[in-house]
Amino acid sequence: MRSYLRPYLGIDLGTANTLVYMKGKGIILNEPSVIAINKETSELLKVGKEAKKMIGKTPANIIAVRPLKEGVIADYNVAMTMLKYFINTALNGFSFFKPSVVVGIPTDATQVERNALREAALDAGSSKAFLIEEAMATAIGAGLDVEEPSGNMIVDIGGGTTEIAVISLGNIVLSKSIRVAGDLIDQEIINHIKSKYNMVIGEKTAERIKIEIGNVFDSPQYSDLSMEVIGLDVLSGLPKSVTITGSEIRNAMRVPVSKIVENIKLAIEETPPELLYDIVNRGIFLAGGGAMIKGIKELLEKETLIRVVIADDPITCVARGAGMVIDKINLIKSISQKA
């Protein structure tokens, strides 16, 4: 009875956002992975959306931080506090029993990083904590039958990492996890604005630019996009406003995007021929926040000569897959052994 009543959660503890999926209810939480703390008292002030609003605006005694970097825990205590808050918020009185959780993790995470994440989940109040490679979780969340004897290629462009994997028979045949993703693209936009306009902008502004006019495919519909950006003039120290175009932002994003494309092509080259045949027929499945960048589908199809399929609701795939794996007996046994 206890096992029947215990909630099962799938968690995507991402560098940029944390999502929680509950079996039977779907995605029940989607918040920025940010926490605000009073440095002097260690008091938790804000978590998630409210904490993200405080980035760059806090007084000296308050810090608003992202405790994960490149997909793994950078500050254990802060990450554990944030995870505990999110788990409690997600449950919201749904159960008297501690939940069992499955958490996504980058494929190339070290054993130390894996142990830290698992311990953080347990310290945050879970009864059991398992880890699943984000690529596998993405495939399950995208609705692919990962246990069948055919090849599926997954590309998940997140905030801190890009996960590239070929999956067959419930296992990852080959994978590449590169720490080049949305955060690095934002940084390149910041660098471009500073270099060209002598103007400083923050992370939130860079992210807004990426979402509104960021693009990776040379097309008039993207090049002609424009927006006004307000920042701080480096020379005068006063506010400054400039109008930027989609064309220049595409050039600013070129280096990190090229690295992602290069690694996808390398993964294709290393894929066994029989599995590659399946991938060509099925397409490359694209997920994560990066799947929503304008022109990414067109660029990948041009570079790989393979059809690209953007998963339904690509941002939630990892969390959904981590939660749905509970119903896949063979796979849950596999990740139980790894945990």
What domains are there in the chain, each with its CATH number?
2-137+317-338 (3.30.420.40), 148-180+255-313 (3.30.420.40), 182-254 (3.90.640.10)
Separation of alpha carbons 280 and 177, rounded Å: 22
Q: Taking all residues of the chain, what is their mean pLDDT, rounded to a whole number? A: 89
15 is in an annotated binding site: yes
Contact 319, 190 (CB under 8 A): no
Instruction: Name the least confident of 182-186, 203-207, 238-242, 324-328.
Output: 324-328
- Of the pLDDT bands very low, low, confident and very high (cuts 50, 70, 90), residue 325 is confident
Tell me the three state secondary structure of residue 53. Answer: coil
Tell me which DSSP letter residue 294 carries.
B
pLDDT at res. 336: 56
161 is in an annotated binding site: yes
The angle formed by the CA atoms of residues 227, 15 and 203, to the nearest 5 degrees, is: 30
- Of the pLDDT bands very low, low, confident and very high (cuts 50, 70, 90), residue 1 is very low
- Does residue 168 register a pLDDT over 90? yes
Look up tokens 């703390």; give the residue. 37
- Lateral strand order in the sheet of 226-233: 199-200, 226-233, 239-245
One-letter identity of residue 256: P
- For residues 310 and 122, which has the higher predicted lDDT (pLDDT)? 310
179 is in an annotated binding site: no
Q: Which two tokens stand for residue 205?
A: 């502004």
298 is in an annotated binding site: no
HSE at residue 279, side-chain half, CA atoms within 13 A, is 30
Q: Which residues have C-beta within 8 Å of that of residue 330, sequence separation ≥ 6? A: 147, 170
Q: Which residues have C-beta within 8 Å of that of residue 121, sequence separation ≥ 6? A: 11, 83, 101, 103, 129
Q: What is the largest CA-CA distance in the chain?
A: 68
138 is in an annotated binding site: no
295 φ, ψ (degrees, to nearest 5): 85, 0
17 is in an annotated binding site: yes
Q: What is the pLDDT of residues 105-118, one digit of tens each?
A: 888 888 888 888 88
Separation of alpha carbons 262 and 48, rounded Å: 33
Strand partners of residue 19: 12, 30
pLDDT at res. 269: 96
pLDDT at res. 138: 94
Contact 55, 83 (CB under 8 A): no
105 is in an annotated binding site: no
Instruction: Name the least confident of 75-89, 232-246, 281-295.
Output: 75-89
- Of the pLDDT bands very low, low, confident and very high (cuts 50, 70, 90), residue 332 is low
- Of the pLDDT bands very low, low, confident and very high (cuts 50, 70, 90), residue 328 is low
335 is in an annotated binding site: no
Nearest Cα neighbor of 104 from 117, 90, 123 is: 117
Nearest Cα neighbor of 155 from 45, 49, 23, 304 is: 304
pLDDT at res. 251: 96
- Does residue 255 register a pLDDT over 90? yes
